[in-house]
Amino acid sequence: MVIERRRFTRIGLHVRAEFTSQDRRWACRAIDISLNGALVSRPRGWVGEQGDRCTLLFRLDEGTCIQMAAILRHQDRDALGWQCTGIDLDSMSELRRLVELNLGEPARMRRQLADMLREHVKTV
């Protein structure tokens, strides 16, 4: 029996994406996205280690993008799992809208958003 430990719902997202890491831009495809990060295809030739940092960019449609700073949490032969470490307000609004449309449960969305804020917002 597999126990689901995720607090953030993953949304299947099959769009063009890219990330900047190791002073280079890498083209990839989004596999899924959540308020806490994303899974993308592994670009040919990319070699990295857990803990590497990047800037991810997802192109949703003409002119609409989600951009986030992230850290590599896991990888395999085909995919890279990035955890979000920072996101701008416009990107957060787009991501929230995308998750809300797919969840269909406003209360669940609010809980996940509160969890994300607790995890990522540091008090001064």
Instruction: Give per-residue pLDDT as tens, 11-30.
Output: 888 899 999 998 999 999 99
Cα gap 87→68, rounded to integer Å: 5
Per-domain boundaries in the chain: 11-120
Candidate from 43-47, 76-80, 95-99 with smallest mean pLDDT? 95-99
| CB 54, CB 20: distance < 8 Å | yes
Q: 102, exposed or middle or buried, with CB in 10 Å at 0-12, 13-18, 19+?
A: middle
Q: Fold for domain 11-120?
A: Thrombin, subunit H (2.40.10)
pTM of the model: 0.79
Look at the chain and count its residues.
Answer: 124
The predicted-structure confidence for 81-115, as pLDDT tens digits, reads as follows 999 999 999 998 898 888 888 776 666 556 666 66
